[in-house]
Chains A and B, each alone.
Chain A
Amino acid sequence: MSGLPDPRLPAGPIADAWRRTSEGLPLISPLRRRQMTVLVVGTGLAGASAAATLAEQGYRVRVLSFHDSPRRAHSVAAQGGINAARARAVDGDSVSRLFADTVRGGDFRAREAGCQRLAEISSAIIDQCVAQGVPFAREYGGTLATRSFGGALVSRTFYARGQTGQQLLYGAYQALMRQVAAGRVELLCRRDLLELITVDGVARGAVCRHLLTGALEVHTAQAVVLASGGYSNVYFLSTNALKSNASAIWRAYRQGALFANPCFTQIHPTCIPSGDVYQSKLTLMSESLRNDGRVWLPALAGDERPPAAIPEAERDYFLERQYPAYGNMVPRDVASRRARELCNAGHGVGPGGRSVYLDLRDAIAREGRETIEARYGNLLAMYERITGDDPITTPMRIYPAPHYTMGGLWVDYQLMSSIPGLFVIGEANFSEHGANRLGASALMQGLADGYFIAPSTVTAWLAGHPTPAITDDHPACREALDRARRRIAALLQVGGRRPVDAFHRDLGALMMERCGISREASGLRAGLQQLAELQQRFDSELGVPGSAEGPNPELDKALRVADFFGLAQLMLRDALAREESCGAHFREEHQSAEGEARRDDANFAHIAAWEFRGDGAEPLRHGEDLTFTALQPSIRSYR
């Protein structure tokens, strides 16, 4: 590839640009659609909504999922809600305000045309979900209820108790199952994508592995849509479900798809910390707890007394001390960094000194135990269940955890990657969240991509590229099959005794330390060195029991973790190359005297898009410049 493909940004003012663009996209007759197959990988919000909609439009759709059912996809775990700008006179919200919040939230590292489109589509998403029977919360009068979320000044977050993702996913899942039952979607569960098939540089299908038989299958299509989610599990411990992985996007990257902003990963400050080496998961606790909880640590480093034995004068309410104006309500990244700093300085509490207290004591004294329990009842019960501690009588322990990845495969305005015919939607693409995603915007983006954008842009692609079907024994398919077979054989042949999870834990600890809440050049370089050493051990000591036939969850994991190793290296490189602090990417060298992030718009107001150039060769970093016409970059401050 030479340089960066045209991002196909709309001409003219960004307002209404998507309507203008979509009205100009070519269409395909219903008769011809029936002869075209689209392969969709993943069944979360983006994948299920895209697959259902494409099938409704008459395409033959084939869907791959690694779960036993599409309803398991990790979108199901999203709690808070979904943003939408549905302007009402008294509220003052508008499309332009949601647009501005998204651009500012992303710290001016997203395309403004994409953010504008999200805001414009957002209202139609709510209509669609309501029509599917999604049981959104309602006002007394029966209209849709909203709440404010993530520091937004307007109330624009639609929700279904604390299970909004679940309910939206079930809406999309049910729409998908309707098409499956009608014979328009072929649903293939328990399949992992192992290789992308390209013919003359155009995406034409995928090789996947049947997770129960071990059989390798070839699925060809006229277009491929990746909706395979994010890569927070590169950190091993994250809020993501355990099987969430980067293999589909990583394999596409190795076939030539550019990978954008891999170092933009979001850390959520209020999660239940890890305790034991075998802990497999960090569970998210709603940020709303920071409304009433006070965050503190022992003022004395190494203080091992139980929290009740530490007198008031020896407690450091460090967020209130450092940010008198915002106190415990500072943004996610700021809260996470300050917690990490103090834990590194020996003030941390709990196992390994890796957590901070979130204390409801004063709120209970002020408002009464009943009020606090009514406000946070389900959260407190969840905390008690997981930790065994009663948060009413003893402070909760929390610590930041990887939660969402803004980076992903580079796509143009039509959500097509740099491989023609390969579309990437949802968290899998690098999309509109810039360097930091706003709360309740992930669901909005996944469904905007799946219900509304990809169906029309995939149609436009197919209209202009009526490629003939290829057979499963096409040389490109055989070549992709061979690549998959060789990788499986290599993992099984290592013959060591160290389980893949042990390597994944080491990889996660390395990435959390070097490329997590805070990054700096020497640490990133050291991380690259450590990663190479760990990779060598992985290649020589890995133990994968069993064979390539039949169910083999250890082989499934080994294939995914091998891909995480590659991605980890790209993340470290990207973090090293981005010599600025922006959004969730904090470089210690680039901060103000007060410790705030210092963005460098002169040199880094661009998207970094990495090109794979072969094993052992340095990947090439392309820059797509960002221009802002509707909103000029500004600097945030919380002091």
Chain B
Amino acid sequence: MTSRPTDSGLAPGSASRGSLSLNLRVWRQERPADPGGFQSYRLEQVSADLSLLEALDQLNEELIAAGERPVHFDHDCREGICGSCGFLVNGQAHGARAATTVCQLYLRQFTDGATLTLEPWRTRAFPAIQDLVVDRSALDRLIGAGGYCSVNTGQAPDGNANLVGQELAASAFATATCIGCGACVASCRNASASLFVAAKLAHLGQLPQGQPERQKRARSMRQQMAVEGFGSCSSNLECEAVCPKEISADWISWMQREGR
């Protein structure tokens, strides 16, 4: 895990409590074709118990009251499981804290007066939409290219027909926890979706149910990666470092042997 405590804005130690003031440099871009640029805002004495997204909610209410367009960002569950949220905080996907989505960053982790630069995922495969929002539908198309077991409803054999050892089940589960947030792509200098694809291939490829289509799936998903404009693996493991679900990049090496 690469942590950069000097420019991360992270406060040393644990709970700061009380309130703090923050400088936000936020990427504003009304339309995909606009050039876009950073706009600075100051949040005065906000509660340290708020999450970063809640601080953005507060900023937006102030902007609305002032008649300005609020900052647009994707979000939904706010507990780190839906994968909707995601942007760079001081250059790092989901911020500096390990194993965390941006909705689970709390202000008490930052020092009073810190400047936080918020900008969207920047990669050709994720076209800009507005402000911090990008189009990640390429990830859905990757799944459509084979990230499933072809079994129609009603065709399933008994659930215990295939035994799966505990270790194998746990390993498959660990790769299946990918939430499709796109941080791995956004952090890769080649904008590769290798970790995303490897996670899905490893999830299904480790289980007996995934065997019949295993090689075809690997070829098809890899091919789709190229079609969508994702680059090849840059081997610098930044994807693993930013993954909120801590999916191991070892699976990318594993994937190289699949479907060949």
Contact = CB atoms under 8 A, between A and B. Distances in A.
A74 B160 CA distance: 29
Contacts of B139: 69
Nearest to A390: B14
A161 B129 contact: no
Nearest to B166: A138
A243 B75 CA distance: 8
A279 B104 CA distance: 12
B76 interface: yes
Given A77-B81, A167-B173, A497-B64, A68 B144 contact: no
A536 interface: no
Interface of B: 14-17, 30-31, 46-51, 53-55, 57-58, 60-61, 63-65, 67-70, 72, 74-79, 81-84, 100, 104, 106, 108, 129-130, 133, 135-137, 139-141, 143-145, 147-160, 162-166, 169, 172-173, 176-177, 179-180, 203-204, 207, 209-210
A180 B209 contact: no
Contacts of B104: 385-386
B176 A67 contact: no
Interface in A503-528: none
Interface of A: 49, 52-53, 56, 67-74, 76-77, 86, 124, 126-133, 135-144, 160-161, 163, 166-167, 170, 173-175, 177-178, 180-181, 187, 189, 212, 241-243, 275-276, 278-281, 283-284, 385-390, 451-452, 455, 497-499, 501-502, 543, 545-546, 550-551, 553-554
29 contacts: A69-B139, A69-B180, A70-B140, A71-B83, A72-B82, A73-B82, A76-B77, A77-B77, A77-B81, A129-B159, A130-B156, A131-B209, A133-B176, A133-B210, A138-B165, A160-B176, A163-B177, A166-B81, A166-B179, A187-B140, A280-B54, A280-B57, A281-B79, A387-B49, A388-B14, A498-B65, A502-B61, A550-B30, A554-B70
Contacts of A175: 148, 151, 153
B156 A178 contact: no
Given A385-B106, A554-B70, A132 B149 contact: yes
B170 to A, nearest CB: 8
Contacts of B49: 275-276, 279, 387-388
B57 A452 contact: no
A76 B81 contact: yes
A554 B77 CA distance: 18
Contacts of A124: 156
A212 B203 contact: no
Contacts of A56: 152-153
Contacts of A140: 166
Given A163-B81, A280-B78, A499 B133 contact: no
Contact of A278 (B54, B81, B154): B54
Given A70-B140, A501-B61, A545-B68, A135 B76 contact: no
A33 B98 CA distance: 50
A181 B144 contact: yes
A509 to B, nearest CB: 16
A130 B209 contact: yes
Q: Which of A141, A181, A451 has the most CB of B within 10 A?
A: A181
Contacts, number: 228
Given A71-B140, A173-B143, 17 more contacts: A69-B139, A127-B159, A130-B209, A131-B149, A132-B151, A133-B176, A133-B209, A135-B203, A137-B169, A141-B163, A142-B166, A178-B144, A280-B53, A281-B79, A452-B153, A497-B64, A543-B65
A499 B173 contact: no
Contacts of B144: 177-178, 180-181
A67 B82 CA distance: 10
A132 B68 contact: no
Contact of A242 (B14, B17, B75): B75
Contacts of B31: 550
B96 to A, nearest CB: 14
B64 A543 contact: yes
Nearest to A189: B137
Contacts of A135: 164, 169, 172-173, 176, 203, 207
Contacts of B57: 278, 280, 501
A69 B169 contact: no
A143 B163 contact: yes
Contact of B153 (A53, A160, A554): A53
B34 to A, nearest CB: 12
Given A130-B209, A242-B76, A551-B133, A276 B148 contact: no
Contact of A72 (B16, B76, B135): B76
Nearest to A134: B176
A49 B154 CA distance: 12
B64 A554 contact: yes
Contacts of A385: 100, 104, 106
B121 to A, nearest CB: 12
B188 to A, nearest CB: 20
B29 to A, nearest CB: 11
B159 A126 contact: yes
Contacts of A243: 76
Contacts of A49: 153
A72 B182 CA distance: 13
Contacts of B177: 163, 166
B108 A136 contact: no
7 closest Cβ pairs, A-B complex: A142-B163, A388-B15, A181-B144, A174-B148, A131-B156, A130-B159, A135-B173
Contacts of B47: 275-276, 278
Contacts of A180: 140, 144
Given A126-B159, A497-B64, A138 B76 contact: no
A409 B228 CA distance: 41
A389 B74 CA distance: 28
Contacts of A241: 76-78, 82
A181 B223 CA distance: 14
Contacts of A143: 160, 163
A69 B209 contact: no
